[in-house]
């Protein structure tokens, strides 16, 4: 399987255009209310990201993520005094509907810190790729109970799991976690705000990176602020 559009290809590759492209949106795991069983199959890929909102007064606008370019010496969003927040991309096998499929999970510190607790508990848990995790979402759970992560029994990967794990595209995760260049930030800002780019410093409103899922943000808007305070 290849998405290559030029150069040497294999006879067995799907012909250009005939392959059904995986929608990037479908590649990301959306956490549902209740239980979400996953098996981590990669290391966490950390990235720094801003969330900007075109209209700060529009409560239906949950903001858009723009990766920080500060590592390149300049970031137009940092210049508005918005602080980029770390997030992590994890390659996981999702057990949704008893079907195992590869997904990318995009997590904030709230979930990351709970998985890390298991990882650091070497006596009983250790390496979090050795057992399934239940990431439970409780919309009414309040600041400390919105996400709770539970380690399940240690079990080896099934043959199907192993096939999924072996075909994980680590380069894809690496690329997704790579900081934007100064120009890429500008392009994103122009896409969000129009050709003028970022308006003035005073009107830029960043919103909280509250939850994994923009829809959930609606029901519990100030989560991150509460935990990190
Ligand atoms: Zn920045």
4 Cα: distance to centroid of ligand 1 (angstroms): 32
223 Cα: distance to centroid of ligand 1 (angstroms): 21
Can you say whether residue 178 is alpha, beta or left, with left for phi > 0 and alpha for psi between -120 and 50 degrees? beta
31 Cα: distance to centroid of ligand 1 (angstroms): 27
Q: What is the DSSP letter of 20?
A: P
Helix (H) or strand (E) holding 106: strand 101-107
198 Cα: distance to centroid of ligand 1 (angstroms): 13
Percent of the chain whose predicted confidence (pLDDT) is above 70: 79
Q: Which residues fall inside 5 Å of ion ligand 1, going by CB? A: 68, 70, 75, 77-78, 84
Q: What's the pLDDT at 56?
A: 75
Cα-based torsion angle of the residue sequence 205, 211, 212, 218 in order, rounded to the nearest 10 degrees: -80
163 Cα: distance to centroid of ligand 1 (angstroms): 38
d(CA 39, CA 52): 31
Cα separations (Å) of 116 from 119, 126, 128, 130? 5, 9, 8, 13
44 Cα: distance to centroid of ligand 1 (angstroms): 21
d(CA 37, CA 103): 12
92 Cα: distance to centroid of ligand 1 (angstroms): 28
85 Cα: distance to centroid of ligand 1 (angstroms): 9
213 Cα: distance to centroid of ligand 1 (angstroms): 21
Confidence band, pLDDT 50/70/90 cuts, at residue 99: confident
> What pTM was estimated for this model as a whole?
0.77
CA-closest candidate to residue 121, choices 147, 154, 90: 154
Note the pLDDT tens digit of each residue in 202-215: 445 555 444 444 43
69 Cα: distance to centroid of ligand 1 (angstroms): 5
13 Cα: distance to centroid of ligand 1 (angstroms): 40
Distance from CA of residue 153 to its chain's centroid?
25
Half-sphere exposure of 94 (CA within 13 A, CB side): 18
Q: Which stretch of 95-104, 117-126, 218-227 has the lowest confidence by average pLDDT?
A: 218-227
Q: Which runs of consecutive H residues, i.e. helices, occur in 41-200? A: 109-120, 142-145, 159-166, 170-177, 182-193
| Phi, psi of 183, rounded to the nearest 5 degrees | -70, -40
Name the residue with higher pLDDT: 44 or 194. 44
Cα separations (Å) of 26 from 12, 29, 183? 25, 7, 27
71 Cα: distance to centroid of ligand 1 (angstroms): 8
d(CA 161, CA 91): 12
Helix (H) or strand (E) holding 66: strand 64-67
Helix (H) or strand (E) holding 58: none
């Amino acid at each position: 399987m290849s998405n290559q559009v030029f150069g040497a290809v294999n006879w067995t590759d799907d012909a250009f255009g005939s392959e059904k492209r995986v929608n990037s949106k479908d590649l990301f795991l959306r956490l549902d209310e209740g239980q979400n069983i996953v098996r981590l199959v990669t290391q966490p890929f950390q990235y720094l990201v801003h969330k900007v909102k075109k209209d700060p007064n529009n409560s239906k606008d949950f903001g858009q993520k723009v990766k920080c370019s500060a590592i390149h010496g300049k970031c137009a969003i940092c210049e508005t005094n918005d602080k980029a927040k770390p997030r992590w991309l994890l390659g996981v096998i999702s057990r949704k509907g008893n079907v195992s499929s590869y997904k990318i999970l995009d997590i904030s510190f709230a979930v990351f810190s709970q998985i890390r607790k298991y990882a650091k508990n070497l006596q009983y848990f250790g390496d979090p790729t050795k057992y399934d995790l239940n990431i439970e979402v409780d919309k009414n759970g309040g600041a400390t109970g919105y996400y709770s992560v539970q380690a399940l029994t240690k079990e080896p990967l099934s043959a199907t799991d192993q096939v999924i794990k072996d075909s994980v595209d680590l380069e894809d995760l690496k690329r997704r976690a790579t900081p934007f260049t100064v120009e890429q930030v500008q392009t994103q800002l122009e896409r969000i705000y129009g050709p003028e780019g970022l308006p003035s410093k005073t009107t830029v409103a960043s919103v909280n990176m509250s939850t994994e899922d923009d829809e959930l943000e609606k029901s519990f808007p100030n989560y991150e602020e509460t935990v990190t305070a």
